[in-house]
Amino acid sequence: MSGDVAGYYDSNTRSFLEFGQGGSVGVIRRAVWGPGVTTREQAFRYSDERLLEQAPEPTRRALDLGCGVGASLEYMLRRRDIEAVGITLSGVQVELANRRLADAGLGDRARCIKGDYTDLPAELGTFDFAYAIEAFLHSPSADAFFREAGRALRPGGVLSLVDDFASERLERPGLSFRERRWAREFREGWSASSLIPMSRACEIASRHGFELRSDEDVTEHVELRRPRDLAITALVRLGRHIPTRHPRWLNLLGGNALQMLLMRRLVTYRIVSWRKREEA
């Protein structure tokens, strides 16, 4: 599965930056039009601002689990005098992230490495704060994700996630044919192996020494059914039965399915944080 995720981002990252609405800010995630947000740039930075608020005091070292092209790393380092490490499976993203950090004059305080956040290198050491933005979902094992995050964080450290979570209803029998198809297409198209309910995430996190600090459902602040989304839906309806596994087609298929699941609240988009227990 890690190979699928690496291939997905190696194939799609540059097109995300070129054609995605967050490309001008250097991010490949969703905009969140939360309270107080008035501009598109602020919407793309909303998640970063919430993470900064959740970082514990003191925070000297931060770990970005699934760092993408380093946009959040750069933003955090410009706002806080800390050191940071990012990790991603994508060689393309490692190259772009380290170039970004070097160009920003931050290469002495941060670096991005190629690796698996469910099997972190021991030499990385200990961190005060770890976070993942739209990356936890890709974990081949949610248990391994929380295990490794727990191993990397100091007691009292904080883990924050910005990601999609399944509703309890998505896990139960009784879904319609279309709802089951959307769930399958999202999981397959976006390599969403850890699409699980918040309740299960909390159970797993607790086993690895975490206690829930905050859980914010921001689904209502995410843009849905934009003109481009409607165009993609039309394209998917025409091409769904074409026998292709091209990464860009799978991205469109999965993205369309996610829109449908979010609209029906079968999936929710959340900003969540856990604290590592002192005795853990």
* Per-residue model confidence as pLDDT tens digits over 195-204: 999 999 999 9
The class of domain 2-166+192-224+267-276 in CATH terms is alpha beta
Given this model, what pLDDT does residue 1 score?
47
Q: Check whether 49 has a pLDDT greater than 70.
A: yes
Q: Check whether 22 has a pLDDT greater than 70.
A: no
Q: Please report how many Cα atoms fall inside a 13 Å half-sphere around the Cα of residue 39, on the Cβ side.
A: 4
Given this model, what pLDDT does residue 231 score?
86
Higher pLDDT, 220 or 234: 220
Q: Check whether 98 has a pLDDT greater than 60.
A: yes
The model's pTM is 0.91
Q: For 107-154, write each residue's pLDDT tens digit.
A: 999 999 999 999 999 899 999 999 999 999 999 999 999 999 999 999
Helical H runs in 24-175? 40-54, 71-79, 91-103, 142-152
Whether the Cβ atoms of residue 225 and residue 261 lie closer than 8 Å to each other: no
